[in-house]
A and B are shown apart, each in its own frame.
Chain A
Amino acid sequence: MTSVVQRFRSEFGDAYSLGLCRVAVAAMLFWQSLEAGHALLTEGYFGTAFHLPFIAEAFVPSPRVYALLLATRLAAATLAAVGVHPRPALAVASLLGLHALLCDRLQYRDDAYALLLLALVVSFGPCDRAWLITGAVPIQDRLAPTWAARLARLQLSILYLASGGSKLLNADWRDGVVLADRMARAAHDGRTHAIPQSVVDAITRLSISSGLSKLAIATELFLAFGLWIRRTRVVALWWGIWFHVVVEVTTHMPLLTGVALATYVLFTTPDTLARKLYFDPSRPKAVVYSRVVTLLDWLARFEVRPWTPDGKRGHTIVVTRRDGSRATGIRAFAMVCRCVPLLFPLWAPVALIASFTKGGETNPRS
């Protein structure tokens, strides 16, 4: 407990991933504000119709003020996304969003609330040291207190714990009744296009939905804690991504998925350019691989470099891991999958296959 408090007080680290998280959160805030603007134009201002504010009616703005606040939210989210005064901009966008949420509980959604909280917490931290339109910041200037990133991670754990815990205490959820009924109604309403009919039919059977419900509860509770433990973190991140993909396909909660994935970035170890990816520039395939990795390496894990071909038959790419060991072939691909966010969902099966291969290690791992 003392060490946790101590870390909140004085831990420093690279704020690179917090910058990436800021961009993702700001983009979602922009989208959320755009949707609110669309609702204002098509349905009119909620404040002049039936609404249920959490706060006193006196704090619900007039239509003109609301439109102004909405425009400010859009502008602030844009500034935060591109990195111009990102911290105050993110705080403003978040606080105005929270105010709008408090003005009408009919519009309250847990995922929207989670996004606004994440934005607020990220704005507490040094999210203005990376991912700026004005240019890159040297690594020594990115070292800053990590307490806000830690708080954002705790917020996600609270979300998982509250969601998983409440389902665990709910007999209908535990027994699969809720899941089966939700799926049956979604199928009835034609909202299951993305899911094969056989899967839909299976989930609506109580014997299957009961097991799946228990798996969902166990997943949420595992994620609440597993993301914090170094030994289980990478598995938790991988499992969490697939969990959210399934939730997205079956329940369609894009903001929740976005919030979780943006926070997952903060769980990654902050070690930019700690690995190297060498490629053979004489091979077109290697050049393509190197460019793809450079393009998708949002966490700046790899220093991508060509090597000078020596005329011998060599490898297309060689990855040097953090510990200095090298990998080629499928092992190198597994390493790339582990580090590149868009390829990370492939990591576990690729790593599993790679573990059965004998080749790919160019020197023994220490």
Chain B
Amino acid sequence: MGPRARLAIAGVYLALQAALVLSAERRPDRAFGFRMAAESSTVVVALSRELRAPEGATDAVVVVSVKDGEWVAHDGTGKPRRIEWRDRVHEPELATFDTAVDATAGAVATVARLQAALDDVATHTPDDTETRALLADIVVQRNGREPYAVHLRSVPR
């Protein structure tokens, strides 16, 4: 490799690194930004399902809480099917419910990932013909400060 090529590769590499580091705050997980141990956050996620209300009910929908990421729903033939959140979502941080877990990627990134996970599970559970949407009630605690709530809803099914 000639001197000019070395210089060109080094220049391009350093410019790319600078761009990635400086733009890291624009990404929810600050990826490629070397933001080591940037925050200390936890989330507590409560999962629930939005179902069509039985006939005669006053509300159009009912919300049923989901225990430990597992529920039973009827498929198209009327057979009961066990649905497990963890069949699709393997990350422990995104598959632990009703218990505080570390938001290792940061609170904002974890909430964004939970939204994506809700959408993913909602669109990858064809055996569940009852659920209209998945809901997540999240309590976020960032850097030991006062907790705040975030409500997420999956894409409609």
Which residues of A approach B to under 8 Å, CB–CB? 5, 8-10, 43-44, 46, 49-50, 52, 54, 105-106, 108, 110-111, 113-114, 121, 124, 145, 147, 150-151, 154-155, 158-159, 162-163, 166-167, 170, 172-173, 177-182, 184-185, 251, 253, 256
Contact = CB atoms under 8 A, between A and B. Distances in A.
A178 B36 contact: no
A182 B40 contact: yes
A50 B120 contact: yes
Contact of A9 (B4, B94, B145): B4
Contacts of A185: 40, 42, 102
Contact of B31 (A108, A162, A167): A108
Interface string B114-133: 00110011001000000000
A147 B24 CA distance: 27
A9 B11 CA distance: 11
B7 A158 contact: no
Contacts of A172: 39, 143
B61 interface: no
B40 A50 contact: no
B156 to A, nearest CB: 19
Contact of B34 (A10, A105, A163, A181): A163
B54 interface: no
Contacts of B91: 50, 106
B6 A145 contact: yes
B35 A162 contact: yes
A166 B120 CA distance: 32
A108 B88 CA distance: 18
B21 interface: yes
Interface string B23-62: 0100001011111111110100000000000000000000
Given A170-B38, A170-B39, A177-B40, 5 more contacts: A105-B31, A166-B24, A166-B35, A177-B145, A180-B144
Contacts, number: 106
Contacts of A167: 38
Interface of B: 1, 3-4, 6-7, 9-10, 13-14, 17-18, 21, 24, 29, 31-40, 42, 87-91, 94, 102, 105, 113, 116-117, 120-121, 124, 143-145
17 contacts: A8-B7, A8-B10, A9-B3, A46-B90, A50-B91, A52-B113, A110-B34, A110-B36, A145-B6, A151-B14, A163-B35, A177-B40, A177-B143, A177-B144, A181-B144, A182-B40, A256-B36
Given A108-B31, A177-B143, A251-B37, A151 B10 contact: yes
B10 A147 contact: yes
A185 B116 CA distance: 27
B6 A158 contact: no
A255 B94 CA distance: 24
A162 B7 contact: no
A166 B18 CA distance: 14
Nearest to B34: A162
Give 7 nearest A-B pairs by CB, closest first.
A181-B144, A9-B3, A181-B40, A162-B34, A182-B40, A50-B120, A172-B143
A93 to B, nearest CB: 18
A48 to B, nearest CB: 9
Q: In this complex, which of A50, A54, A155 has the most chain B Cβ atoms within 10 angstroms of its Cβ?
A: A50
B33 A166 contact: yes
Contacts of A10: 3
Contacts of A158: 14, 17-18, 21, 34
Contacts of A179: 40
A162 B47 CA distance: 36
A351 to B, nearest CB: 30
Contact of B7 (A5, A114, A177): A5
B35 A181 contact: no
Q: In this complex, which of B39, B87, B88 has the most chain A Cβ atoms within 10 angstroms of its Cβ?
A: B39
A50 B144 contact: no
